[in-house]
Amino acid sequence: MDLLMIVNKENRLSKKFVPIDLVEIKTIIPGAVEVDRKIYLNKIVAEKWMELKKHVEKLGYKIDISSGYRSYEYQEKLFNKFINQKGIEQALKLVALPGTSEHQTGLCFDYEKVYMEDDKIKSSLNELDMEYKIVKDIAHKYGFIIRYPKGKEKITGYSFEPWHLRYVGCETAKIIYENNITLEEYKSKILIK
Ligand SMILES: [Zn+2]
């Protein structure tokens, strides 16, 4: 599997693309379920995520996964639901077209901070949260990058998403982190040289 694959509007995955080595992963975030009410990730990505999560916990903070692998069919259903509810124009703005979501690779996921409120488990994340500040600076040690960073919207084609982590392997993640670049820039500027 190509750990550096880019998936977006210009680089679509086919309906047949299902990642290898998907494993089920636990989360305590309520409502965070996608395929058959479970969350799946590529096996290596799942292992590295557990290590990252432990590291954050050791520092006294709690995070968990809110979204993992999404199948083509899932994205298709979601897209059609939005068309029915809000019309095609809104659907195109709010939901990724089937085949254009990186979540279909099994190599990325969304995480959030977890906390208690009114005796209920709640979750959220924004760039001011300590959890994000920590993850931003240690994720590369586990092979992850902030896939859609702030200020790189024109390159990635996506708004800043502090919660979306993508696995690229430790070597690549370190270079991307240290040079403050995106996966797109890494592939076009560093890999080609
Ligand atoms: Zn995401």
**Distance between CA 91 and CA 75 in Å, rounded?**
12
H runs (alpha helix) in the chain: 43-58, 72-86, 88-94, 130-138, 153-156, 170-179, 183-185
Structure confidence at residue 35 (pLDDT): 60
**Distance between CA 107 and CA 20 in Å, rounded?**
10
Structure confidence at residue 37 (pLDDT): 66
Q: Are 5 and 17 in contact (CB under 8 A)?
A: no
User: Token pair 């592939």 is at which residue?
Assistant: 187
Measure 148 CA to ligand 1 centroid, in angstroms.
9
Domain ranges of the chain: 22-190
Angle between helices 43-58 and 130-138 (to 10 degrees): 120
Architecture of domain 22-190: 2-Layer Sandwich (3.30)
Structure confidence at residue 81 (pLDDT): 92
Structure confidence at residue 189 (pLDDT): 85
**Distance between CA 15 and CA 172 in Å, rounded?**
28
Please give the chain's pLDDT, 193 residues, in tens.
899 999 998 999 999 999 989 999 999 998 776 666 689 999 999 999 999 999 999 999 999 999 999 999 999 998 999 999 999 998 888 888 999 999 999 999 999 999 999 999 999 999 999 999 999 999 999 999 999 999 999 999 889 999 999 999 999 999 999 999 999 999 998 876 5
Measure 12 CA to ligand 1 centroid, in angstroms.
16
Amino acid occupying residue 51: E
Structure confidence at residue 64 (pLDDT): 96
Measure 150 CA to ligand 1 centroid, in angstroms.
15
Structure confidence at residue 191 (pLDDT): 77
**Distance between CA 152 and CA 161 in Å, rounded?**
11
Q: Catalytic residue positions?
A: 161
Q: Are 48 and 167 in contact (CB under 8 A)?
A: yes
Q: Are 173 and 190 in contact (CB under 8 A)?
A: no
Q: Are 139 and 176 in contact (CB under 8 A)?
A: no
Q: Are 111 and 125 in contact (CB under 8 A)?
A: yes
**Distance between CA 131 and CA 83 in Å, rounded?**
35
Measure 67 CA to ligand 1 centroid, in angstroms.
7
